Amino acid sequence: MRSDSVLIPEEEMARQRDLALEVKALPHRPRSYFVVTYGCQMNAHDSEKIAGMLEEMGLLPAPRREEADFVIFNTCCIRENAERKALGNVAWLKEIKRQRPEMMIAVCGCMAQEPGMAERLLKQYRFVDLIFGTSNLYRLPELLLSRLNAGAPLVAVDDADTLPEGVPVRRLRHDAAYLTIMYGCNNFCSYCIVPYVRGRERSRREEDILREAEALAAAGVREIMLLGQNVNSYGLDSAGKPLFPSLLRRLDQVGIERIRFMTSHPKDLSNDLIAAMAESAHVLPQFHLPVQSGSDPILLRMNRHYTRSQYLDRVRKLRAAIPGIGLSTDMIVAFPGETEADFEETLSLVSEVRYDSAFTFVYSPRTGTKAASFPDQIPPEIAKDRITRLIALQEALQRETLSRFLNQEEELLVESVSRRSEEAVSGKGRHGISITLPGGAEDIGKILRCRIVKVKNNTLIGERIP
Ligand code: SAH
Ligand code: SF4
Ligand code: F3S
């Protein structure tokens, strides 16, 4: 059994900060670090916390993993290939460590939290120094100190549903920031490993979230991305906590120009949330609404708790309340038992909705999930054929869908100099779609107005408007 969800007491967080200073004072501690991140935004933000804690311990970022004294693999296990990639990269470092025995290696994140994985790592990856799960992330100062003093591999993986406040964060971007509002997931979609590796849902207190948002605004952050496996169920785990729409209304007042969120479960998308978005000044007109499949029997076996028609109804309501809203989704093909007819229902849903973008995946069985033991697993050649057809359809429709932006005004927060040209910059528009326009490094972090002049694959090309 899991222990109850637990807010880590302030004294424990203070103890971790003290231990960080203790590490800092050690003569034989690592001096530099490199974090390798896999997976979703949750993991990206966890890596910012890892970096924040390591910098409190006096470590500095290394330019390359081969040169770092301490390499941390923050792993993902959502699909088998994510896991294979992480393990392959850990193994690759073994040779480097042979040449530089003082190098320390940690494996953490969702894969480390998978049942049986820590034992497997200890046996097959003996050069790994430290293994810790998602629930123990905030204990990194204590774990690193113990490992440095013990001289033997250390494992800290347990099932506790922790809720730590005040972990230091080293943000990768200065203009945009992640802000976690809830951890874990209670949905147990039959294919998904996340509830097993991230624990039960637990929502942060509204005052903690608002305080963090205010601090980010004061630091000049212009965009926040609220994070949770299912932000729509924020607060549902505890009576008396405000729910997501009211949290959004409060955040809208904080003075941050752009507010986005990730991810939403269609079953919990309320009319009130749609209203809160429509009323707000700063919540951007975009929505990531994973559908997974267009077929009712498959949705039922996926344990998604909505039907195709309920999903389509949500989409209609979103579009009616927020005209032009940017819509994206996730879809899985070749779920066990998916017939050609089921798959065609997914194709027809895609044609009906017309998403601005879609992440498409081939079903990957995950040990311990319900669907892994379902009969009628789909052969790889059929899966490959289906994903190819789905991608082709989405790409063809996307061109048309995105052309609604032609000659329209948009606004983007410039994220980087374009990969293709030094005289172009790119970032996300208000609708969540990438925009490229003429510019240079001096524009990074600025919000620029533009007119869309061209659609190129999944990107909009803009011209500046003064
Ligand atoms: N909490 C988010 C999803 C997190 S995982 C949500 O519910 O929307 C991101 C996506 O990975 C999922 O939406 C799903 O499409 C895909 N995914 C999850 N488990 C998978 C599996 N076993 N095989 C293939 N794709 C999977
Ligand atoms: Fe996984 Fe479903 Fe939870 Fe998303 S809602 S994390 S797909 S179990
Ligand atoms: Fe992967 Fe964990 Fe995210 S399994 S997708 S990193 S929650």
Whether 449 is covered by a domain: the verdict is: yes
Asked whether residue 28 is domain-assigned, the answer is yes
Q: Per-residue pLDDT tens for 165-185? A: 999 999 999 999 999 999 999
Pocket of ligand 2 (CB under 6 A): 185, 187-189, 192, 194-195, 229-230, 265
Cβ pair 355, 329 in contact under 8 A: yes
Amino acid letter, residue 365:
P
Q: Kindly give the distance from the C-alpha atom of residue 55 to the centroid of ligand 2, in angstroms, as a whole number.
A: 33
Encoding tokens for residue 213? 């948002």
Task: Give the mean model confidence (pLDDT) for residues 131-135.
Answer: 96
Q: What single-letter amino acid sits at 19?
A: L
Q: Which of 400, 425, 453 is where one domain is finished?
A: 400
Q: Determine contact, residues 2/160, Cβ cutoff 8 Å.
A: yes
Considering 104, 138, 163, which residue would you say is the last residue of a domain?
A: 163
Judge if 155 and 187 occupy the same domain: no
Q: 112 CB under 6 A from ligand 3? A: no
pLDDT tens sequence across 249-279 = 999 999 999 999 999 999 999 999 999 999 9
> What separation in Å is there between the alpha carbon of 403 and the centre of ligand 3?
33
* Arithmetic mean of pLDDT over the chain: 96
CA of 110 from ligand 3 middle (Å) equals 6
pLDDT tens digits along 194-235: 999 999 999 999 999 999 999 999 999 999 999 999 999 999
Structural domain contains residue 143:
yes
pLDDT score for 2: 46
- Residues 154 and 185 both lie in one domain: no
Mean pLDDT of 75-84: 97
Atom of ligand 3 nearest to the CA of 229: 7
pLDDT in tens, 304-323: 999 999 999 999 999 999 99
* Residue 324 burial (10 A CB sphere; 0-12, 13-18, 19+): exposed
Beta carbons of 8 and 14 less than 8 angstroms apart: no
Q: Whose C-alpha lies nearest to ligand 3, atom 1?
A: 76
Q: Are 414 and 382 in the same domain?
A: no
Note the pLDDT of residue 6. 78
Q: Tell me, in angstroms, the distance from the centre of ligand 2 to residue 359's CA.
A: 15
- The tally of CA atoms less than 13 A away on the side-chain side of residue 458 is 18
Residue 5 pLDDT more than 80?
A: no
- Residue percentage of the chain with pLDDT more than 90: 94
Residues 392 and 418 in one domain: no
Question: Same domain for 261 and 358?
Answer: yes
Same domain, 159 and 284: no
**Is the residue at 439 inside a domain?**
yes
In this structure, are 79 and 108 located in the same domain? yes
d(CA 56, CA 54): 5
Domain boundary among 163, 193, 212: 163
Structural domain includes residue 168? no
> Is the domain of 158 the same as that of 201?
no
| Cα(189)–Cα(322) distance, integer angstroms | 29
Residue 452's CATH number: 2.40.50.140
Pocket of ligand 1 (CB under 6 A): 78-79, 191-192, 194, 229-230, 263, 265, 290, 292, 330, 332, 361, 363-364, 366
| Average pLDDT value for residue range 326-346 | 98
pTM for this predicted structure:
0.96
Burial letters for 156-185: b for 16+ Cβ neighbours within 10 Å, e otherwise?
A: bbeeebbbbeebbbbbebebbbbbbbbbbb
Q: Which of 126, 113, 106 is nearest to 36 (CA)?
A: 106
Residue 169 maps to a domain = no
pLDDT interval class at 1 (50, 70, 90): very low
| Whole-number Å distance between alpha carbons of 452 and 437 | 9
Ligand 1 atom at minimum distance from 264 CA: 8
In ligand 3, which atom is closest to the CA atom of 193? 4
- Six token digits for residue 300: 């039922």
Confidence of residue 418 (pLDDT cuts 50, 70, 90): confident
Asked if residue 396 and residue 274 are part of one domain, the reply reads: yes
- Here the CATH number for the domain that contains residue 39 is 3.40.50.12160
Q: Which has the closest alpha carbon to 430: 444, 449, 453?
A: 449
Q: Are residues 98 and 217 in the same domain?
A: no
Q: pLDDT tens, 359-400? A: 999 999 999 999 999 999 999 999 999 999 999 999 999 999
> Which structural domain range is residue 96 located in?
6-163
- Judgement on whether residues 120 and 191 belong to the same structural domain of the protein: no
User: Could you tell me if residue 423 is inside a domain?
Assistant: yes
- Is residue 170 one of the residues assigned to a domain? no
CA of residue 429 to ligand 3 center, whole Å: 25
Q: How far is the CA of 377 from the centre of ligand 1 (A)?
A: 17
Q: Do 420 and 313 lie in a common domain? A: no
What's the burial of 150, exposed, middle or buried (CB within 10 Å: 0-12/13-18/19+)?
exposed
Ligand 1 atom 18: the closest Cα is on which residue?
192
Are 347 and 390 within 8 A, CB to CB?
yes
pLDDT the model gives residue 105? 98
- Tell me what the mean pLDDT of segment 44-54 comes to: 98
Q: Total structural domains in the chain? A: 3
Tokens of 454: 């061209």
Angstrom distance (rounded) from CA 299 to CA 189: 9
> Which of 232, 361, 370, 390 best tests ligand 1's pocket when mutated (most atoms within 8 Å of CB)?
361
